[in-house]
Amino acid sequence: MQASLGMPESTRLPVPDAARAPEAPRAVRADDQRRYQRVRVALLGRFMLSDRREYPCQTMDMSPGGVRVVCAVAGTVGERVVLYLEQIGRIEGVIVRHATGGFAAALSVSARKREKIASQLTWLANRELLGLPEGRSHERITPKAPAVVLRLESGREVAARIIDFSMSGAAIACTARPAIGSAVVVGRTPGRLVRFFEGGFGVQFLLPIDPDRFHDGMTL
């Protein structure tokens, strides 16, 4: 049976019709937030605090009303935060407490956005529960210009080809065989080699790609 992330009945709204003005984002009340089902999910991303500086992060768990992330800079309780998460996109919220190695934030989103997040989290939960593949056909794209220069940890530069890439990493075809865990730069995007496969290897980016820049014509 598939997992389900139902929204609280008191907050369920019909799909707005074209004539209805979009609902302004609002913070989820604390009593409502506790009623949302949380999903343990590890999504790479980054966040921006009120000083407009950006920091990398990774989610620990998430619901349509809140998210908990691990990061090096935790911000302050009550501070507004903008997060960019792979597969979720851009969301806003307020830091409500510090957690081990990071913080928890209550999301300030419209009812329609909450429904969308609920659907995305349901899919992620079912994928994990049923052992489904990662759905890379949706998450990864093939670049229009796949040729790239790969700079190895030694400083040596070699020609390579990008097989496909996501906001968090890339599959690279290359004659060089760097060591697992070694630092590499794909074009201008720094990362780390995380696995080998037949014909190439996988690189995880140190910082995820901005969702607004993520398309098949972008240059890494």
Q: pLDDT tens for residues 77-115?
A: 999 999 998 778 899 999 999 988 899 999 998 988 898
| Distance (Å, whole) CA 4 – CA 17 | 25
Kindly state whether residues 111 and 13 are assigned to the same domain: yes
* 220 is a domain residue: no
* 89 is a domain residue: yes
* 203 is a domain residue: yes
* 1 is a domain residue: no
CATH of the domain at 122: 2.40.10.220
Kindly state whether residues 160 and 67 are assigned to the same domain: no
What's this model's pTM, rounded to 2 decimal places?
A: 0.49
Kindly state whether residues 38 and 79 are assigned to the same domain: yes
Q: Which domain holds residue 205?
A: 138-213
Kindly state whether residues 41 and 115 are assigned to the same domain: yes
Pick the last residue of a domain from 117, 132, 147: 132
Kindly state whether residues 121 and 148 are assigned to the same domain: no
* Total tally of structural domains belonging to the chain: 2
The alpha-helical segments, DSSP class H, found in 27-131 are 30-33, 111-130
| % of the chain at pLDDT higher than 70 | 78
* 2 is a domain residue: no
Q: pLDDT, tens digit, for every residue of 132-189?
A: 445 443 467 889 999 999 999 899 999 999 999 988 889 999 999 998 888 899 999 9
- Provide the pLDDT for residue 174: 94
Kindly state whether residues 110 and 142 are assigned to the same domain: no
Which residues, 6 or more positions from 116, have their beta carbon under 8 angstroms from its beta carbon?
none
Pick the last residue of a domain from 132, 147, 173: 132
Kindly state whether residues 102 and 144 are assigned to the same domain: no
Pick the last residue of a domain from 95, 112, 132: 132
Place of tokens 């865990």: 181
CB contact at 8 A, 41 and 121: yes
| Distance (Å, whole) CA 100 – CA 53 | 21
